[in-house]
Amino acid sequence: PTPLLFQVAALERQIFDFLGYQWAPILANFLHIMAVILGIFGTIQYRSRYLMMYAVWLVLWVGWNAFIICFYLEVGRLSQDRDFIMTFNTSLHRSWWMENGPGCLVTPVLNSNLAPEDHHVITVSGCLLDYQYIEVVSSATQIFLALFGFVYACYVSKVFLEEEDSFDFIGGFDSYGYQAPQKTSHLQLQPLYT
């Protein structure tokens, strides 16, 4: 159930970023989905290297989500009104939750000189929860899941490595007390002279 939860959370995030034309998060979510699949494959196939790569990705994923939290809370010099990092500066799109959040009422502003020719100005009011906080909660959930996944990947990888180290490839049965038959004197090899 846990890998399924990771996939569902990543797909949910991907869908809402697609709806908001948030290209940087779409790319990051795609890489995250691939990493989760790699982690699942590593678990099923007993591949500790894949799990270690997944754990390294999760560290980067936590950093990305921490950046998103800082971006939407406008920490430091980050500004949503000035920086269009999430769309790679290709458009003025914002989070899908800005206009479609719970309880939000969108009203177009007619005859506004603030918008470029191909855009319109809107006002959003009555939201039960502002879109910034929805994005922050989503990123915080991703961080929580990533921390859990990191601990899981490290533990399972350690178990796989210990199993590889404990197996005796030559004898194969030494840990079970099995003793191979001893050679008797009449079976000893003698040098052959020609």
pLDDT tens for the chain, residues 1 to 194: 466 787 888 888 888 887 777 888 888 989 998 998 888 888 888 888 888 999 999 999 999 999 989 988 888 877 766 656 677 666 656 777 777 778 877 777 776 565 555 555 666 777 788 888 888 999 999 999 999 989 988 898 888 888 776 655 555 555 555 555 565 555 566 677 76
Q: What is the pLDDT of residue 107?
A: 76
Do 97 and 138 touch, CB atoms closer than 8 A? no
Three-state SS string over 18-61 comes to HHCCCHHHHHHHHHHHHHHHHHHHHHHCCCHHHHHHHHHHHHHH
Res 130: pLDDT: 83
pLDDT at 1: 43
Angle (CA) 185-189-194 rounded to 5° is 140
Contact between 6 and 14 under an 8 Å Cβ cutoff? The reply is no
DSSP letter assigned to residue 102: T
Using alpha carbons, list the distances in angstroms from residue 30 to 59, 63, 141, 163. Answer: 16, 16, 17, 33
Contact indicator for 67, 86 with CB cutoff of 8 Å? no
| Count of residues making up the chain | 194
Q: Compute the distance between CA of residue 13 and CA of residue 29 in angstroms, rounded to an integer.
A: 7
Q: What is the pLDDT of residues 44-101, one digit of tens each?
A: 888 888 889 999 999 999 999 999 899 888 888 777 666 566 776 666 567 777 777 7
CA distance linking residue 50 with residue 45, whole number of Å: 9
Alpha carbon 59 to chain centroid, angstroms: 9
Residues 6+ apart with CB under 8 A from 174: 168
H or E segment at 159? helix 131-166
